[in-house]
């Protein structure tokens, strides 16, 4: 049995979009008052080596120039979830909140400024009618 290393493009090539999705169990998170055990992270970069799918500790494989797009989905269709903030080293990425034209659907977007070994970040979520955001307990990360 042989193993293969994921194919990667060289740093400095064309930008590629990497979508990072947070699926939130809003009812569970609101009841617990935290995100631990109520957050399932995914990205579109598994072929390049991302790991930790379906956990709170997603490790997204990125290179300088990659464009990142974060969004959140509620596990329950009646629940409200939105990303309130993404806390990450600004020398690596500066996420900005955007809204799809003609809607009130928000997403966050940022470009990876430089290759990095392992940069953790925290996401703060607005859930239901709660005024204060709930932050991730465990950190996902961008890995080079």
Side-chain half-sphere exposure of 28, counting CA atoms within 13 A: 12
Q: What is the pTM of this model?
A: 0.87
Q: Report the pLDDT averaged over residues 104-126.
A: 94
Q: Report the pLDDT averaged over residues 1-10.
A: 46
Checking if the pLDDT of 123 tops 90, the result is yes
In the chain, domain spans: 17-143
**CATH code for residues 17-143:** 2.60.40.3910
Main-chain dihedrals φ then ψ at residue 46, nearest 5 degrees: -60, -40
**pLDDT value for 13:** 52
């Amino acid at each position: 049995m042989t193993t293969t290393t994921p194919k990667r493009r060289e740093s400095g090539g064309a930008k590629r979009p990497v979508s990072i999705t947070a699926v939130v169990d809003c009812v569970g998170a609101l009841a617990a008052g935290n995100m631990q055990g109520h957050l399932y992270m995914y990205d579109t970069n598994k072929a390049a080596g991302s790991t930790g799918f379906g956990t709170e500790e997603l490790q997204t494989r990125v290179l300088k120039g990659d464009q990142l797009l974060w969004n959140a989905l509620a596990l329950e269709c009646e629940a409200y979830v939105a990303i309130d903030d993404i806390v990450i080293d600004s020398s690596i990425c500066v996420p900005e909140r955007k809204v799809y034209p003609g809607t009130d659907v928000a997403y966050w977007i940022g470009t990876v400024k430089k290759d990095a070994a392992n940069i953790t970040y925290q996401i703060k979520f607005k859930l239901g009618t709660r005024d204060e955001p709930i932050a991730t307990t465990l950190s996902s990360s961008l890995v080079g």
